[in-house]
Structure 1
Amino acid sequence: MTLKGWRLVLNKVLFIPQRYVFGLLGLFALANSFTMRVCLSVAIVKMVKQVSSEGHILGETCPDTTNYNTTDSVLTTNSSNLYTGRDRYDWDEKTQGLLLSAFYYGYVVTHLPGGLLAERFGGKWTIGLSLLATSISTLLTPLIVGMWGAFGLFIMRVISGMGEGPVTPGFVLLMARWVPPAERSRFGAMIFGGAQIGNIAGPYITGLLLANDGDWANVFYVFGGMGIIWFIFFSLLCYSSPNSHPFISDDEKLYLNTNVVASGLHKKLDPVPFKAIFRSAPVWSLVIAAIGHDWGYFTMITDLPKYFSDVLKFNIKETGLMAALPYVAMYICSFIFASFCDFCVRKKWHSIATGRKIYTTVSSAVPAIFIILASYSGCDRIKAVGFFVASMAFMAGFYSSVKINAMDIAPNYAGTCSAIVNGLAAVSGMITPYMIGLLTPDQTIQQWRLAFWTIFIVLVGTNIIYLIWGSGEPQWWDDVDKYGYPPNWKHGPLRKRSDNSEKNVVYPKHDHSPVAKD
């Protein structure tokens, strides 16, 4: 059968709207990326030699109820010779913090290049090849660690981070091409909520793989292999825009071309207006809000398993389960918040901008309170886990607010803006694991409480800034042809105009629409 014939068959067989196929593949993409991101947080418990808690401060550590006669316990240094798996490493808390933060050193530097590549060449291959690189580096991690120890692990985690950097800006750009504004909260929850699937599956599956003295290398083999399988399906079924999709239905293509506002769907975009973007208050307020969220979120996904293991004294299997529970709540609530937000926007009960600010507050201030309550729960395991679950449940409002706000203010340059926002915010991931290692050298409750108070201050402070300067409206620099230049713009034209020259445009005083001279 010819290629055209196959396309006709697929058009009839794949009756599901292709934007939902894209959404489902996006969900699995984020799930795979986060399993590879967070697996080290649990695996490192079995990669290092555990030290005895005898030297800890009396009254500031929880009682260790672990039965060391069971094979799924966390072994002490004195009994490490009983372990028959791979070598364990003598890495202190600062070294572990540096290794856990290594991912974000690579993650930060590829955000902006990834966004630019996605806008130039399309989101499909930018995302696909990037996650393929992460998958391969994850597969090779045990081999490299065996050869070069902590240095090798640091390098492989940096490479994994570089591979995942373009994923968020790439998907934001694809959503700007594929998803109408009234559906964006739901698709944002569907796709970026896949991160919570990864956060659920990663620690839980890792705990199962490591139980009964399982080889820690299997963690990297399993998740790296799953990433490669995802790449095969994504490369066959996903396309960068509805107009380039070979077997999308005519009805869906017409619907998307009518309702998607991104000009880049229909014409070649002008160069990215960097000088206007970097002077935009809504962009910088979005950056600050994202920094606040990531400060809390990355601390949770990176260090919460260590808190459960080293402070609350869960064994490795329990640690995987307990670390997954908060993300189950976050995943469920992401759909609840997103559906309600879209419903309110459609009913015109509030504007897009108001909705973004409401759910930014829900995902920042409320979790900050529950994190502090958890820190004052002491050794009450049930209460502490309950507060952490509640904290992550409310953090789900992020997917209806900050995560998709770049599409609101810059639908044409959503990839670049998202790259700037997420790239700068991801610096939190470089700082927080190392900071936790410095603040909690003895893994005491009091030391962790100080770390949680730091999270509280950052979350609340950044939320206030977003409430003042955040926006949900397209900015003038996103489409100069449509909006014109503001009256106070004194930095020259964003681009050279070949026809309808700049000198033929008058900048109005009260709106951004260009008015031709008579």
Structure 2
Amino acid sequence: MGQSKFAKYFCIPQRIIMAIICFFGISIAYVMRVCLSVAITEMVAKPNHTEIVTESNNSICVADPIMLGSSTGHSDGGEYHWTQEQQGWILSSFYIGYVLTHLPGGVIAQKYGGKWTLGLGILSTAIFTLLTPYAVQQGGHVALIVLRILMGLGEGTTFPALSVLLASWVPEKERSKLGSFVFGGGQIGTVAGNLLSGMILSSYSWPWVFYVFGVISIIWFLIFVCICYSNPDCHPFITKEERDYLESELGQLKRHKHLPATPWTSILTSVPMIALVCAQIGHDWGFYIMVSDLPKYMSEVLQFSIKDNGTYSSLPYLVMWIVSVSTGWLSDFMIGRKFLTITGARKWFTAVAAIFPAIFIVLASYAGCDKMLVVVMFTLAMGFMGTFYPGMKVNPLDLSPNYAGSIMAVTNGIGALTGVAAPVFVGVMTPNSSLTEWRIVFWITFVIFGVTTIIYSIWASAEVQPWNTPKEIKSPGHDDVHEKDKLMIELESIKIEAMNFNE
């Protein structure tokens, strides 16, 4: 395929453009996912704490009532009287739908490409986001739960489709930094979702949160479908040089069209795959507790004003994004200089992303009512969690470039079950929103982090697995053939040619 006449107008490589657009795509996906966590603090009437309670009795941090007036931006919440358990189900309902479309999303992306699988998923989520205020006003918390499940169905294709796109566009030597950059968009989305939601809520009513983010998401969709393509070989704006480079680095670019059925038995019984799923569960449990419930903790326990809540809830994710991008470059550097093997890098960065967050989350619960110290502890916890991206998050691309979408669907889908369980668990465990109740939640999170990290550190691998290339498409000279065997095949071919020439 020749070079398009439009290629000369693009000075930035198309794989970089694709990474940037996908970064913004996952950012707005997370914005739509997490904005409810902040908005719900203004939708629901706050508990009526009639007395000042301090850290001394391990209950709720309530400021001086005089200081809870308009000057601090404090609000008594909204008109809906939903219990903590009901709020837990509302915040977790998104992940019910999210889990269901992971697997079909990965299979569809592998077969037809990641572009439309990703784009249409985010578009549907945007439409349901715009409909959120109407659903709440007409049907209350039940209608909101149903709508959030539908939003999850749309967004469940995001990570499997992104994995297929990255497998089609990103060479191995750029995998850590570009993969971390793209997936790190989730942290920027969380920052924007918390920060901008707080700003909108401080000036406007809560429905505007959903209107603003829904419209922005639709604008992204229109840009994405015009600029990005599933594979380099079908991209009209790519230069011949970049296409040749990607073909030499990634091999056959049309593998989607000829790939046999996904070898599910081999994948699901693979030890490195099981270790990867365990690490995903551990990370997601801690992450979803923070994403779904950190604004509630800061509002109900620490009594932050709505604007401060948005600001301080977003800070940990900003630090997490900075860490994820910088350690992505660090990982590629250390692998390139042979300081670490790819497997070693994946294990090391994954362990850091679990051990330190586990420690700092627990310490935050012992910081009591010292608001700034709590913010520092949460910020350090989420910052260290950023090393998860050059760790296990890009590991599916290592294990099987051909089936990266299916692997990501399985790992992210199973991990997302914690997104269903974690908010409900928090709602059940913290009926009074007290420090003591939250401390138990954080200690349980500590244990989950520890156990899953040990499993991953022992059994994880970054080697391409044998089932990556099924028998149907294996041929002499493929990567699974030993170097000595390949040499013998070449010598035998030369010998046959010489015999034919003599004849």
TM-score (norm 2): 0.91
Pair 1:160 & 2:151 matched: yes
Give 1:480 deviation, angstroms: 3.2
Tell me how far apart the structure 1 counterparts of residues 318 and 181 of structure 2 sit (CA, whole Å).
14
User: Contact (CA 8 Å) 1:142, 1:220: kept in 2 or not?
Assistant: yes
Match of residue 63 from structure 2: 64
Tell me how far apart the structure 1 counterparts of residues 27 and 75 of structure 2 sit (CA, whole Å).
31
Pair 1:17 & 2:13 matched: yes
Counterpart selection for 1:243 from 203, 208, 233: 233
Match of residue 223 from structure 2: 233
Point out the more displaced range, 225-234 or 54-63.
Answer: 54-63
Tell me how far apart the structure 1 counterparts of residues 391 and 328 of structure 2 sit (CA, whole Å).
9
Match of residue 186 from structure 1: 177
Which residue type is aligned with residue 12 of structure 2? I
Aligned-partner SS, 2:70: coil
Counterparts of 1:403-482 in structure 2, within 5 Å, are 403-481=393-471
Counterparts of 1:82-97 in structure 2, within 5 Å, are 88-97=79-88
Match of residue 339 from structure 2: 349
Tell me how far apart the structure 1 counterparts of residues 475 and 195 of structure 2 sit (CA, whole Å).
60
Aligned-partner SS, 1:53: coil
Give 1:224 deviation, angstroms: 0.7
User: Contact (CA 8 Å) 1:476, 1:512: kept in 2 or not?
Assistant: no
Summarize the Cα distance change of 1:43–1:500 in structure 2 as closer, same or farther, 3 Å threshold: closer
Tell me how far apart the structure 2 counterparts of residues 332 and 98 of structure 1 sit (CA, whole Å).
32
Aligned-partner SS, 1:189: helix
Which runs of 5 or more structure 2 residues have no equivalent in the other structure? 493-503
1:439-465 CA-partner distances (Å, limit 9, x unpaired): 111111110000000110101110000
Which residue type is aligned with residue 60 of structure 2? T
Summarize the Cα distance change of 1:232–1:375 in structure 2 as closer, same or farther, 3 Å threshold: same
Give 1:351 deviation, angstroms: 1.0
User: Contact (CA 8 Å) 2:53, 2:61: kept in 1 or not?
Assistant: no
User: Contact (CA 8 Å) 2:52, 2:62: kept in 1 or not?
Assistant: no
Which residue type is aligned with residue 29 of structure 2? S
Aligned length: 482
Tell me how far apart the structure 1 counterparts of residues 95 and 248 of structure 2 sit (CA, whole Å).
39
Tell me how far apart the structure 1 counterparts of residues 212 and 173 of structure 2 sit (CA, whole Å).
38
Match of residue 32 from structure 1: 28
Give 1:68 deviation, angstroms: 3.8
Tell me how far apart the structure 2 counterparts of residues 349 and 479 of structure 1 sit (CA, whole Å).
29
Aligned-partner SS, 1:363: helix
Match of residue 115 from structure 1: 106
Match of residue 127 from structure 1: 118
Match of residue 495 from structure 2: none
Tell me how far apart the structure 1 counterparts of residues 144 and 355 of structure 2 sit (CA, whole Å).
35
Summarize the Cα distance change of 1:42–1:511 in structure 2 as closer, same or farther, 3 Å threshold: farther
Match of residue 84 from structure 1: none
Counterpart selection for 1:99 from 73, 90, 106: 90
1:184-235 CA-partner distances (Å, limit 9, x unpaired): 11111211111111111111110011114x2100000011111100000000
Tell me how far apart the structure 2 counterparts of residues 168 and 508 of structure 1 sit (CA, whole Å).
32
Match of residue 496 from structure 2: none
Aligned-partner SS, 1:364: helix
Give 1:54 deviation, angstroms: 2.8
Match of residue 372 from structure 2: 382
Which residue type is aligned with residue 70 of structure 1? S
Runs of 4+ in 1 over 6 A off after TM superposition: 55-58, 507-513
Aligned-partner SS, 1:52: coil
Counterparts of 1:318-357 in structure 2, within 5 Å, are 318-357=308-347
Which residue type is aligned with residue 334 of structure 1? S
User: Contact (CA 8 Å) 2:233, 2:254: kept in 1 or not?
Assistant: no
User: Contact (CA 8 Å) 1:56, 1:444: kept in 2 or not?
Assistant: no
Give 1:512 deviation, angstroms: 11
1:41-74 CA-partner distances (Å, limit 9, x unpaired): 0000000111211389772221324634317644
Aligned-partner SS, 1:400: coil
Summarize the Cα distance change of 1:249–1:42 in structure 2 as closer, same or farther, 3 Å threshold: same
Which residue type is aligned with residue 69 of structure 2? N
The structure carrying a bigger helix percent of its residues is 2
Tell me how far apart the structure 2 counterparts of residues 508 and 193 of structure 1 sit (CA, whole Å).
36
Give 1:247 deviation, angstroms: 1.0
RMSD (Å), alpha carbons = 2.5
